[in-house]
Amino acid sequence: MTSEALPKGYEPADVEARWIKYWQEDKTFTPDPDGPGEPYSIVIPPPNVTGALHMGHALNITIQDILCRYHRQRGRNVLWVPGTDHAGIATQNVVERSLAAKGVSREAIGREAFIEEVWKWRAEYGGKILNQIRRLGASVDWTRERFTFDEGLSRAVREVFVRLYEEGLIYRGDYIINWCPRCHTALADLEVEYAPHIGKLYHIRYPVEEMPGSFLTIATTRPETLLGDTAVAVHPEDERYKDFVGKHAILPLVGRRLPIIADAYVEREFGTGCLKVTPAHDMNDFELGRKHHLEVIAVQDEAGNINENAPEKYRGLDRAEARKVVIEDLKEQKLLDDIRDYEHNVGECYRCRTVIEPYVSKQWFVKTGPLAKAAREAVEHGRTAILPDQWTKTYYDWLDNIRDWCVSRQIWWGHRIPAWTCDACGELIVSREDPTACPKCGATTLTRDPDVLDTWFSSALWPFSTLGWPDETKELKTFYPTTVLSTAFDILFFWVARMMMMGLHFMKEVPFKEVYIHALVRDAEGRKMSKSLGNGIDPLAMMDQYGTDALRFTLAAFAAMGRDIKLSEERIEGYRHFVNKIWNAARFALMHIGEGAPDIPLEEAAKAGLCHAVILSRLERLKEKVAGAIEGYQFNDAAQELYGFFWREFCDWYLEMAKVDLGGEDAAKKGAAKRVLFTVLSEVLTLMHPFMPFVTQEIWSKLPGVADPNLARMSFPGARPGLVSETAEADMELLKAVVVGVRNIRAELNINPGVKLTALVHADNDSEVASLTANTAMIVFLAKLERFEAGLEIAAPKASASTAAGTCALYVPLSGAVDFDVEFLRLSKEEVKTVKELTVVEKKLGNEDFVSRAPAEVVAKEREKQEALGERLARLRELKDRIKKLMAE
């Protein structure tokens, strides 16, 4: 085999498509539940069926793929389950917009026809994100792909709902919920996202019935909701209002008598210290109303319009119009005391960004108290670990303050709630099968609840529903609990905690043993990527331009636990150069290995030369470091170890040194070099494979004599502790120090590479002399020397440059090699140029207007430039001083 087995340049597109197809057709990643090896399983966080791959997905898929490919190499029976979430609100919105573009509404075509349209949309577009995940090289088992709305998972959802209802953990009742007037559905607390708004704080005067001429002034940001007020509250210890407690206020514009109550909930420092209580339109007021047995009067309908419970003048107005009219009427009645600007956080629907309204309606709830207790204890007792640990406290805080979970949604796309009401007697029927008659009165006219379940309800079952539950499948028995969940911090509550609750309740075991919370991918300046900033980086575009391996390795190289990633296209391009380096090094190796390497014991091959002994020793250390880093979720450490070994140890040093033996006439040395070269290349490809599956697989398939052309099936390279040699590594470090020292002197003094130099080393002890002397030929070759000598008595010759080489002193005689006058003049010119550049920067930084007005990153770059120019100037002056001294000798 020759280097022609690999084309001159690496072209990722063809290679990636070919191996993705091969692995899927070969079912490389489809495990046998009865197969050998300790089970290792991951369920993919199911992306929304409406979604497209973003950089957060790319990072998480890369992390999971590294884990799965690595643990397969370690002999574990690995299952990685792929799938998508039906994404109720998001998918319904997409299809509604599609219909609207054709002039059709979902109401016009009806529920069944609309659901058919959604399924058509899913068939056409629903696989988009899975194909993008496939393109990343994800080693998932595509034969077990799941969808939260497929038949098996839908059966699991229904079983869970009915069981929870039978156990008294699901109930239906009137309660205040977050309501989106745009989506016309309830939202869980976690589905409300808060954004800063510049609004107004309105001070309104409420007359006191028993004290004519007296008023209580309340402060509110939502004056239109006063139409539903049923009390005014003050703090029981507020001296300003103690005489008002027990009396009644008259509600402006309505005339309703409102009890004035005292409750410690009221914040004396906010506004006026008086609180209007509107139980139907404020979460906290609702709880206050229940405590004080207040009437609940809803004055808005589902669309956010004023309803029949308000005075006739306001009925039919939307909330924004109602606010304007209410304010004008309060002004007219001289009851509006003040209006102030007020910045506060306002809840918005996480899907459509509409400002949500608290709304009292009949909803289905899960009692979370007992479920949350078990989920907390599982982490406290170490059955599940959250990494990094900083997220454990956040997890606890949420569970400690959890409220019952509203799981009903007023949309059509989703798991229909399995509940019916008998039209004849009002009996509520919750059933696993669709009932045909009322079990109480026998009537056959039953009305099904129109609501569907929260999308997170079905995804909370994902770790066990995807494995076949409620059936006792082999997959469930083998792969549950799953080993690790890798996910983003922002769904720690939405998803992770709920999976913990459901898994523990229905499986009596945690759903995963570890939760790895991955970093956030930010832009190069550390800002969150967003459409509004226009700073997002499209992973698909990066894969098109630089190849998938370059993108994956970049993400892994910066994936430090607990630290966000600052990503730029330049960094991805930089690792594309690394992929090319691997390719070119492999071409060189294949050219010299030919049809195969001789079967020489590695212990014997290591004795053929220092470079062989050292690269094998470093390879052993690399295996240990990479394995430890991956198992500790330190993906950046593993990537950096691989990068450093391959580029610096293998390419920069070993391949250069091995050329001597590979191109020499000594058959024994050539055979040993080929054996070591093949071993190092094949094993480092295996180590790199979880990070860069495509380029490593393509090169592997061209290696002569491999046991299996499918690198994804190969084992992690076994340890050979006998090859570790601290002595050889120390000798190599000394050799490198001498070579680097000579190269640095050449560079600093601008000595032509073709000029043969002499290098002399004053060593500290006999072992150093022996080591350097034994490797004289290699030092001469690498440093391009005419002569080299090491000894205990060597002193610095006249007109020589000197530097430290480890603990030794290195001297390079310069007479005849350097024209000191020319070099002094060159350095002087460089000095003048650097001074000019530094002066410009310092003048800019000395300008207070520039420093105060320019963006922080611009100022920071100028300071970095100032520091670099200062260091360069100091170095130039140091070199000039050295030249002066050499000229004087």
Q: Is 132 helix (H, G, I), strand (E, B) or coil?
A: helix
Contact assessment for residue 136 and residue 437, using Cβ atoms and an 8 Å cutoff: no
Report residue 355 as tokens. 């400002």
Lowest mean pLDDT among 49-58, 366-375, 671-680: 49-58
Residue 771: closest CA among 728, 723, 722: 728
Structural domain boundaries of the chain?
A: 31-158+460-518, 169-176+360-369+386-457, 185-358, 539-724, 729-818, 821-888
- Over the stretch 167-221, which tens digit does the pLDDT of each residue have? 999 999 888 888 888 877 777 665 778 888 888 999 999 999 999 999 999 999 9
CA-to-CA dists, residue 765 to 730, 731, 732, 779, angstroms: 14, 13, 16, 19
185-358: CATH number? 3.90.740.10
- Residue 573, burial from CB neighbour count under 10 angstroms (0-12, 13-18, 19+): middle
- Over the stretch 482-498, which tens digit does the pLDDT of each residue have? 999 999 988 888 899 99
Q: Which pLDDT band holds residue 3 (cuts at 50, 70, 90)?
A: very low
Does the pLDDT value for residue 772 go beyond 90? yes
- Over the stretch 744-756, which tens digit does the pLDDT of each residue have? 999 888 888 888 9
Residue 823's pLDDT is what?
67
At position 8, the amino acid (one-letter code) is: K
- Over the stretch 489-548, which tens digit does the pLDDT of each residue have? 888 888 999 999 999 999 999 999 999 999 889 888 888 887 767 888 999 999 999 999
Domains 539-724 and 821-888 share a fold: no
Q: Is the pTM of this model over 0.85?
A: no
Q: Is 233 helix (H, G, I), strand (E, B) or coil?
A: strand
Q: Per-residue DSSP letters for 307-336?
A: -TTS-GGGTT-BHHHHHHHHHHHHHHTT-E
- Over the stretch 128-171, which tens digit does the pLDDT of each residue have? 999 999 999 999 999 999 999 999 999 999 999 999 999 999 99
Does the pLDDT value for residue 682 go beyond 70? yes
At position 630, the amino acid (one-letter code) is: I
Average pLDDT on 606-617 reads: 97
Residue 182's pLDDT is what?
82
Residue 226's pLDDT is what?
95
Contact assessment for residue 661 and residue 673, using Cβ atoms and an 8 Å cutoff: yes
Contact assessment for residue 146 and residue 153, using Cβ atoms and an 8 Å cutoff: yes
C-alpha–C-alpha distance, residues 387 and 46, integer Å: 20
Does the bond joining 470 to the residue before it have cis omega, within 30 degrees of 0?
Answer: yes
Residue 205: closest CA among 188, 191, 218: 218
Residue 560: closest CA among 674, 637, 495, 487: 637
C-alpha–C-alpha distance, residues 503 and 206, integer Å: 52
- Residue 818, burial from CB neighbour count under 10 angstroms (0-12, 13-18, 19+): buried
Q: Structurally, what CATH architecture does the domain formed by 539-724 represent?
A: Orthogonal Bundle (1.10)
Contact assessment for residue 460 and residue 502, using Cβ atoms and an 8 Å cutoff: yes
Tokens 């029927």, residue located: 429
Q: H/E/C letters for each residue in 781-835? A: HHHCEEEEEEECCCCCCCCEEEEEECCEEEEEECCCCCCHHHHHHHHHHHHHHHH
Crossing angle for the helix pair 776-783 and 766-774, to the nearest 10 degrees: 60
Instruction: Give the right CATH number for 821-888 from 1.10.287, 3.40.30, 3.30.200, 3.40.50.
Output: 1.10.287
At position 372, the amino acid (one-letter code) is: A
Contact assessment for residue 306 and residue 227, using Cβ atoms and an 8 Å cutoff: yes
798 is known to lie in a ligand binding site: no
Residue 889's pLDDT is what?
64
- Residue 99, burial from CB neighbour count under 10 angstroms (0-12, 13-18, 19+): middle
Residue 50: closest CA among 127, 149, 154: 127
Class of domain 31-158+460-518: alpha beta
Beta partners for residue 487, in sequence order: 517
Higher-confidence residue of 758 and 748: namely 758
Q: Which pLDDT band holds residue 828 (cuts at 50, 70, 90)?
A: confident
C-alpha–C-alpha distance, residues 455 and 366, integer Å: 14
Residue 188's pLDDT is what?
65
**Cα end-to-end distance, the chain, whole Å:** 57
C-alpha–C-alpha distance, residues 425 and 419, integer Å: 15
- Over the stretch 721-739, which tens digit does the pLDDT of each residue have? 999 999 999 999 999 999 9
Average pLDDT on 331-338 reads: 94
C-alpha–C-alpha distance, residues 731 and 808, integer Å: 12
Q: Is 31 helix (H, G, I), strand (E, B) or coil?
A: coil
CA-to-CA dists, residue 615 to 78, 652, 728, 729, 775, angstroms: 32, 12, 10, 9, 16
Crossing angle for the helix pair 369-380 and 390-400, to the nearest 10 degrees: 160
C-alpha–C-alpha distance, residues 114 and 99, integer Å: 9
Percent of all residues in the chain with a pLDDT value above 70, rounded to a whole number = 98
Residue 44: closest CA among 518, 520, 466: 466
Residue 819's pLDDT is what?
67
DSSP-derived secondary structure letter, 716: P
C-alpha–C-alpha distance, residues 440 and 513, integer Å: 46
Residue 776's pLDDT is what?
96
Does the pLDDT value for residue 1 go beyond 50? no
DSSP-derived secondary structure letter, 497: I
Residue 190's pLDDT is what?
58
Positive or negative, the CA dihedral 876, 879, 883, 885 is positive
Residue 2's pLDDT is what?
39
Q: Which residues of 450-460 are buried (b: 16+ CB within 10 A; e: fewer)?
A: ebbbbbbbbbb
C-alpha–C-alpha distance, residues 454 and 458, integer Å: 8
Phi-psi domain of 751 (left: phi exceeds 0; alpha: psi -120 through 50; beta: other): beta
